[in-house]
Amino acid sequence: MTARLNVNIDHVATVRQARRAPEPSVAAAAALCEQAGADGITVHLRADRRHIQDADVFTLRRTVTTYLNLEMSVADEMISVALEARPDAVTLVPENPNEITTEGGLDVRANSKAVRAAIDRLRECDLFASVFIDPDAEQVAAARDAGAQQVELCTALYAEATLGARGVHGEGAGRAAAELKRLHEAARLAAQSGLKVAAGHGLTYRNVGALAAAREIEEFNIGHNLIARAVLVGLDPAVREMREAIRRGRAGG
């Protein structure tokens, strides 16, 4: 079984918000991704609403026919939106006011009370709760103890290392291999703890394959690299190529 691909379409909303215009439509983008074989759609509702708006979440809940994963902070205001919109999964992420994108995983150990409270609210309403964490044994244990049903492993350090890697012996390759090992170990540990395992952040057509070889990883959330390619070649081939990169990685080459 290959891992599922959820396409993060935040950047489609970013283009729309640049002009506060009606287009491009996030619902149309989601439908095109689904038609191209995406297994799900991911969107991130941020406190500053700089790309996805509350209305987008409700629209997507009506139009997405595969799987809708909603990323958000643990803030009460955000959890209330999730309870009303009822996505298929809610992924809890850290959020800092001036960040360009999510900076690393949620420190579940240090924020266990707030994370547990958010997860309790979600699960009481039968929503599936995932937490975005660094690939670290203590964070996996803290996520499980807080009641999460899934962890999404943050692949940012691995992805950064692969950007510096030139071939298998190049600069960054050693660091990429070490990060890959950390991710594989955390995935194994999470699965052994009864958690479902997802991964994402900074993944590309070139670096996703090595990670997809880890059979515990059931789902990838990929945005920037895929949408960047879609700007040039269209969403349909961009989604198909990413699915193929994941499939080939899982098959071992």
Tokens of 108: 């579940």
Q: How far is CA 101 from the centre of its chain?
A: 12
**In this structure, what is the dihedral angle of CA atoms 200, 204, 207, 211, given to the nearest 10 degrees?**
30
Residue in 71, 244, 98, 230 with CA at minimum distance from that of residue 154: 71
Q: Which amino acid is at 73?
A: S
201 is a catalytic site residue = yes
Please report whether residue 44 would count as binding ligand PXP according to CB under 6 A.
yes
**In this structure, what is the dihedral angle of CA atoms 23, 27, 29, 33, given to the nearest 10 degrees?**
180
Name the packing angle between helices 235-251 and 26-35 (round to 10°).
40
* Site residues (CB under 6 A) for ligand PXP, limited to 63-82: 71
Please report whether residue 17 would count as binding ligand PXP according to CB under 6 A.
no
Out of 11, 34, 44, 95, pick the active-site residue: 44
Shortest Cβ 65–ligand PXP spacing (Å)? 21
Backbone angles phi, psi at 173, to 5 degrees: -65, -40
Contact window for ligand PXP (CB under 6 A) among 33-41, 108-116, 164-172, 194-202: 194-202
Q: For residues 198 and 217, is the Cβ–Cβ distance under 8 A?
A: yes
Q: Give the residue, chosen from 132, 133, 214, 245, that forms a contact with ligand PXP under the rule CB under 6 A.
A: 132
Shortest Cβ 154–ligand PXP spacing (Å)? 7
138 is a catalytic site residue = no
Shortest Cβ 162–ligand PXP spacing (Å)? 12
192's CB contacts (< 8 A; 6+ apart) are none
Please report whether residue 192 would count as binding ligand PXP according to CB under 6 A.
no
Please report whether residue 221 would count as binding ligand PXP according to CB under 6 A.
yes
State which residue has the least CB distance to ligand PXP: 223
Which residue lies nearer to ligand PXP by CB, 110 or 168?
110
Which residue lies nearer to ligand PXP by CB, 16 or 44?
44
Shortest Cβ 52–ligand PXP spacing (Å)? 10
Break the chain down into helix, strand, coil percent, rounded to 5: 50, 15, 35
Contact window for ligand PXP (CB under 6 A) among 160-168, 181-189, 199-207, 245-253: 199-207
Which residue lies nearer to ligand PXP by CB, 43 or 165?
43
Please report whether residue 202 would count as binding ligand PXP according to CB under 6 A.
yes
* Site residues (CB under 6 A) for ligand PXP, limited to 135-154: 152
Q: Please state, in angstroms and as integers, the Cα–Cα distance from residue 153 to each residue in 49, 54, 92, 133, following that order.
A: 24, 26, 12, 5
Tokens of 20: 């506060």
Contact residues for ligand PXP, defined by CB under 6 A: 8, 10, 44, 71, 91, 93, 101-102, 132, 152, 200-203, 221-225
Q: Enumerate the active-site residues.
A: 44, 71, 201
